Amino acid sequence: MKRQDIQCDSQGQLRHFLTIEGHKRETLTQILDTAENFVTVGNQPVKKVPLLRGKTIVNLFFESSTRTRTTFELAAKRLSADVLNVNISTSSTSKGESLLDMLHNLEAMHCDMFVVRHEQSGAAHFIAQHVVPHISIINAGDGRHAHPTQAMLDVFTIRKHKPDFTALRVAIVGDLMHSRVARSQIHALNTLGVPEIRAIGPCTLIPPYLEQMGVHVYHDVREGLKDVDVVIMLRLQRERMDGALLPSELEYFQTYGLTQEKLALAKPDAIVMHPGPINRGVEIESSVADGPQSVILEQVSNGIAVRMAVMSVVLGRKPSGEEGEA
């Protein structure tokens, strides 16, 4: 079964959001346009809309996270859904219960959506194949495979500053080998019509399949950053590295870390992004991370609106302009 098939029902309605791969441009644009309606919710006196009132959303985070879990929880609550955070470390799975048994017990509690983060690639897809039809799955990151909502908030942030995707040159810098975010970003950028995507990093951190995805690979950071519109920095994911892929973090920063000097090679109005968490002095210097071209904190804020949009679209509820208070 194709991944895009399991993500949609027989009418083509988005049922799960597991990966960007396979989705049409219209689906991604629908999510981005829906998110526009939610951007200002956080500025209202009552930070809620009633779209998902009566729905129950369960956060199943088998891998630690702060920013992603928090923004998913805030997104669900701002849609007026009830939220259950399952502490996996103290759940029955740690006492020998199987994953499927735990899921079936949660299904029996009449939940509507599971937000799943897991260290194993394909975990969210596996869960989506085994849940009952009325439950939707959102992939909040699985192994090295995909992080679709992060990619969507990234392209949403890009669209705010650079509305015409077909005129952009985007550079993704750093540890692409272990980055599920980068894979999802590349799929999203390709789908939305970005004509040139560059991957910049050492040979040991650039996967061999990137060129098959239409990505231009650079090992010289200065050559790769020349005249780009968007610079996306990636975290060095030491926890996923097998063996010594880098001589030292200091040498990595000197060669690939984003400094003011290297950023000057990009277009003067280029924006700087980072999915976080940031390792200052490793991937990026503080003067750039906190500088006028940085939109890193915007990414965090936009993550709430985009995740609200994904939840509302997946559960079949779309805003029609202004929404009342819950």
The pLDDT of 254-281, averaged and rounded, is 96
pLDDT given for residue 41 in this prediction: 93
Q: Is the pLDDT of residue 148 over 70?
A: yes
The pLDDT of 285-296, averaged and rounded, is 98
Q: Is the peptide bond before 268 cis (omega within 30 degrees of 0)?
A: no
Residues 188 and 292 in one domain: yes
Q: Is the pLDDT of residue 322 over 80?
A: no
Confidence of residue 1 (pLDDT cuts 50, 70, 90): very low
Report the mean per-residue pLDDT for the chain: 90
Q: Is the pLDDT of residue 142 over 90?
A: yes
CA distances for 310 relative to 124, 125, 146, 189, angstroms: 16, 17, 15, 18
Catalytic residues, which ones? 67-68, 95, 117, 147
Residues 106 and 27 in one domain: yes
The pLDDT of 151-177, averaged and rounded, is 97
The pLDDT of 231-251, averaged and rounded, is 71
Residues 194 and 179 in one domain: yes
Residues 253 and 166 in one domain: yes
Q: Which amino acid is at 246?
A: L
Q: Which amino acid is at 172?
A: I
Residue at 322 is within a domain: no
Supply the pTM of this predicted model.
0.91
Q: Where are the beta strands (DSSP E) in 234-305?
A: 271-273
The pLDDT of 83-88, averaged and rounded, is 86
Residues 126 and 238 in one domain: no
The pLDDT of 110-115, averaged and rounded, is 95
The pLDDT of 312-319, averaged and rounded, is 80
Annotated binding site for carbamoyl phosphate: 67-68, 117, 147, 150, 276-277
Residues 7 and 142 in one domain: yes
Residues 171 and 293 in one domain: yes
The pLDDT of 142-163, averaged and rounded, is 97
pLDDT given for residue 187 in this prediction: 97
Lowest-confidence pick of 4-8, 10-14, 200-204, 283-287: 4-8
Residue at 324 is within a domain: no
Annotated binding site: 67-68, 95, 117, 147, 150, 180, 235, 276-277
Is residue 58 within a helix (H) or strand (E), and if so which, with residue range?
A: strand 56-61
CA distances for 42 relative to 110, 145, 309, angstroms: 29, 31, 14
pLDDT given for residue 249 in this prediction: 83
Whole domain around residue 61: which residue ranges? 3-146+301-314
pLDDT given for residue 103 in this prediction: 87
Q: Is the pLDDT of residue 2 over 50?
A: no
pLDDT given for residue 102 in this prediction: 86
> Given the DSSP bridges, would you call strands 82-86 and 136-142 parallel, antiparallel or unpaired?
unpaired
Residues 131 and 185 in one domain: no
Residue at 73 is within a domain: yes
Residue at 51 is within a domain: yes
Confidence of residue 131 (pLDDT cuts 50, 70, 90): very high
pLDDT given for residue 121 in this prediction: 92
Residues 35 and 80 in one domain: yes
The pLDDT of 123-134, averaged and rounded, is 93
Q: Is the pLDDT of residue 129 over 50?
A: yes
Confidence of residue 76 (pLDDT cuts 50, 70, 90): very high
Q: Is the pLDDT of residue 289 over 60?
A: yes
> Given the DSSP bridges, would you call strands 215-218 and 136-142 parallel, antiparallel or unpaired?
unpaired
Annotated binding site for L-aspartate: 95, 180, 235
The CA angle 65-67-70, to the nearest 5 degrees, is 95
CATH number of residue 58's parent domain: 3.40.50.1370
Q: Is the pLDDT of residue 111 over 70?
A: yes
Residues 131 and 155 in one domain: no
Residues 41-72 have pLDDT tens digits of: 988 899 999 999 999 999 999 888 888 999 99
Confidence of residue 325 (pLDDT cuts 50, 70, 90): very low
Residues 212-230 have pLDDT tens digits of: 999 999 999 999 999 999 9
* Two tokens, residue 2: 């194709």
Q: Is 299 helix (H, G, I), strand (E, B) or coil?
A: helix
pLDDT given for residue 155 in this prediction: 98
- Number of structural domains the chain divides into: 2
Residues 285 and 156 in one domain: yes
